[in-house]
Amino acid sequence: MRIVVFCLTAALALTCASCSDPDNDYPDLTIYPVSGRMTYKGKPASGAVVFFHRQGGDASKEPAITGIVQEDGSFELVCGPLGKGAPAGDYDVLVEWTRVTGQGKKRPQTGPDVLKGRYADPKHPLLHATVEAKATNLPGFEL
Protein backbone atom coordinates (compact mmCIF):
# COMPACT_ATOMS: atom_id res chain seq x y z
CA MET A 1 0.00 0.00 0.00
CA ARG A 2 2.89 2.37 0.71
CA ILE A 3 4.09 1.92 -2.87
CA VAL A 4 0.66 2.97 -4.15
CA VAL A 5 0.60 6.11 -2.01
CA PHE A 6 4.22 6.93 -2.94
CA CYS A 7 3.55 6.51 -6.65
CA LEU A 8 0.38 8.57 -6.55
CA THR A 9 2.10 11.28 -4.52
CA ALA A 10 4.87 11.38 -7.12
CA ALA A 11 2.27 11.63 -9.90
CA LEU A 12 0.53 14.47 -8.06
CA ALA A 13 3.84 16.32 -7.68
CA LEU A 14 4.52 15.96 -11.40
CA THR A 15 0.99 17.14 -12.21
CA CYS A 16 1.46 20.19 -10.02
CA ALA A 17 4.86 20.95 -11.49
CA SER A 18 3.61 20.58 -15.04
CA CYS A 19 0.94 23.24 -14.62
CA SER A 20 3.43 25.89 -13.56
CA ASP A 21 3.52 28.72 -16.10
CA PRO A 22 6.72 30.81 -15.85
CA ASP A 23 4.93 33.85 -17.31
CA ASN A 24 1.99 33.70 -14.90
CA ASP A 25 2.14 32.84 -11.22
CA TYR A 26 -1.65 33.30 -10.83
CA PRO A 27 -1.28 36.50 -8.78
CA ASP A 28 -5.03 37.05 -8.60
CA LEU A 29 -5.86 33.69 -7.00
CA THR A 30 -6.20 33.39 -3.25
CA ILE A 31 -6.32 29.83 -2.01
CA TYR A 32 -7.84 28.45 1.18
CA PRO A 33 -7.10 25.13 2.92
CA VAL A 34 -9.48 22.39 1.76
CA SER A 35 -9.84 18.90 3.18
CA GLY A 36 -12.38 16.13 2.91
CA ARG A 37 -13.02 12.39 3.08
CA MET A 38 -13.79 9.89 0.37
CA THR A 39 -15.13 6.38 0.85
CA TYR A 40 -16.15 3.56 -1.45
CA LYS A 41 -18.80 1.17 -0.13
CA GLY A 42 -18.17 2.56 3.33
CA LYS A 43 -14.39 2.04 3.31
CA PRO A 44 -11.61 4.60 2.61
CA ALA A 45 -10.90 5.03 -1.12
CA SER A 46 -7.18 4.97 -0.36
CA GLY A 47 -5.07 5.98 -3.34
CA ALA A 48 -7.89 7.57 -5.35
CA VAL A 49 -6.96 10.85 -7.04
CA VAL A 50 -9.44 13.71 -6.71
CA PHE A 51 -9.58 16.48 -9.34
CA PHE A 52 -11.43 19.74 -8.74
CA HIS A 53 -12.51 21.74 -11.81
CA ARG A 54 -13.97 25.18 -11.23
CA GLN A 55 -17.47 25.43 -12.72
CA GLY A 56 -17.41 27.92 -15.57
CA GLY A 57 -13.62 28.16 -15.40
CA ASP A 58 -11.11 27.69 -18.20
CA ALA A 59 -8.97 24.70 -17.23
CA SER A 60 -6.23 25.79 -19.63
CA LYS A 61 -5.78 29.07 -17.72
CA GLU A 62 -6.04 27.78 -14.15
CA PRO A 63 -3.72 25.60 -12.09
CA ALA A 64 -4.65 21.96 -11.55
CA ILE A 65 -6.38 21.33 -8.22
CA THR A 66 -5.88 17.78 -7.01
CA GLY A 67 -5.65 15.58 -3.94
CA ILE A 68 -4.82 11.97 -3.10
CA VAL A 69 -7.01 10.00 -0.73
CA GLN A 70 -4.98 8.68 2.18
CA GLU A 71 -5.34 5.32 3.97
CA ASP A 72 -7.86 6.81 6.42
CA GLY A 73 -10.00 8.24 3.57
CA SER A 74 -8.90 11.85 4.08
CA PHE A 75 -7.51 14.15 1.40
CA GLU A 76 -6.17 17.70 1.14
CA LEU A 77 -6.24 19.71 -2.06
CA VAL A 78 -3.15 21.15 -3.72
CA CYS A 79 -3.51 24.01 -6.20
CA GLY A 80 -0.68 23.60 -8.70
CA PRO A 81 2.26 25.87 -7.98
CA LEU A 82 0.31 27.82 -5.34
CA GLY A 83 0.46 25.04 -2.71
CA LYS A 84 -2.11 23.48 -0.42
CA GLY A 85 -5.67 24.68 -0.89
CA ALA A 86 -8.02 25.92 -3.60
CA PRO A 87 -9.65 29.21 -4.63
CA ALA A 88 -13.17 29.84 -3.35
CA GLY A 89 -15.92 28.75 -5.73
CA ASP A 90 -18.13 25.95 -6.99
CA TYR A 91 -16.43 22.87 -8.42
CA ASP A 92 -17.11 19.71 -10.34
CA VAL A 93 -15.26 16.86 -8.66
CA LEU A 94 -13.74 14.02 -10.68
CA VAL A 95 -12.18 10.87 -9.25
CA GLU A 96 -9.86 8.29 -10.76
CA TRP A 97 -8.75 5.28 -8.74
CA THR A 98 -6.19 2.94 -10.20
CA ARG A 99 -4.16 0.42 -8.25
CA VAL A 100 -0.57 -0.64 -8.76
CA THR A 101 -0.53 -4.12 -10.29
CA GLY A 102 3.22 -4.60 -10.63
CA GLN A 103 6.54 -2.97 -11.35
CA GLY A 104 7.55 -2.24 -14.94
CA LYS A 105 10.70 -0.65 -16.29
CA LYS A 106 11.32 2.57 -14.33
CA ARG A 107 7.76 2.93 -13.02
CA PRO A 108 4.89 0.99 -11.50
CA GLN A 109 2.23 -0.56 -13.69
CA THR A 110 -1.34 0.35 -12.84
CA GLY A 111 -4.58 -1.44 -13.49
CA PRO A 112 -7.86 -0.04 -14.75
CA ASP A 113 -9.89 2.56 -12.88
CA VAL A 114 -11.61 0.76 -9.99
CA LEU A 115 -14.60 3.06 -10.56
CA LYS A 116 -14.69 2.21 -14.31
CA GLY A 117 -14.62 5.88 -15.29
CA ARG A 118 -17.98 6.57 -13.66
CA TYR A 119 -16.62 9.52 -11.67
CA ALA A 120 -14.02 10.71 -14.21
CA ASP A 121 -16.17 12.18 -17.01
CA PRO A 122 -15.70 15.99 -17.08
CA LYS A 123 -18.77 16.37 -19.32
CA HIS A 124 -21.02 14.56 -16.83
CA PRO A 125 -19.61 15.08 -13.33
CA LEU A 126 -21.46 13.21 -10.59
CA LEU A 127 -19.86 15.01 -7.65
CA HIS A 128 -19.80 18.70 -6.78
CA ALA A 129 -18.35 20.82 -3.98
CA THR A 130 -18.18 24.40 -2.80
CA VAL A 131 -14.96 25.88 -1.42
CA GLU A 132 -15.58 28.82 0.85
CA ALA A 133 -13.31 31.86 1.28
CA LYS A 134 -11.99 30.29 4.48
CA ALA A 135 -10.60 26.92 5.56
CA THR A 136 -13.11 24.36 4.26
CA ASN A 137 -13.72 20.81 5.49
CA LEU A 138 -15.95 19.33 2.81
CA PRO A 139 -18.78 16.91 3.56
CA GLY A 140 -17.67 13.32 2.90
CA PHE A 141 -17.99 11.84 -0.58
CA GLU A 142 -19.42 8.30 -0.72
CA LEU A 143 -18.75 6.56 -4.04
Q: Convert the pLDDT of each residue in 102-140 to its tens digit.
A: 666 777 667 888 999 999 999 999 999 999 999 999 999
| pLDDT confidence band for 7 (50 / 70 / 90) | very low
Contact 136, 32 (CB under 8 A): yes
Task: Tell me: pLDDT of 11 over 60.
Answer: no
Structure-model confidence comparison of residues 34 and 58, the more confident one: 34
DSSP 3-state of 29: coil
Instruction: Please provide the average confidence, as pLDDT, over all residues in the chain.
Output: 83
Tell which residue, 16, 13, 10, 15, has the closest CA to residue 81.
Answer: 16
Phi-psi region of 87 (alpha: psi -120 to 50; beta: other; left: phi over 0): beta
Percent with pLDDT over 70 in the chain: 77
Task: Tell me: pLDDT of 27 over 70.
Answer: no
**pLDDT, mean of residues 24-39:** 84
**pLDDT, mean of residues 91-112:** 81
Task: Tell me: pLDDT of 58 over 70.
Answer: yes
Q: Which pairs with CB-CB distance under 8 Å and at least 24 residues apart come from 118-124?
A: 119/93, 119/94, 119/95, 119/143, 120/94, 120/95, 120/96, 121/94, 122/53, 122/92, 122/94
pLDDT at position 26 is: 67
- Domain range summary for the chain, segments of one domain joined by +: 2-20+34-142
Domain covering 2-20+34-142 in this structure, CATH number: 2.60.40.10
Q: What Cα–Cα distance (Å) separates residue 68 from each residue in 5, 26, 58?
A: 8, 23, 23
* pTM of the full structure: 0.77
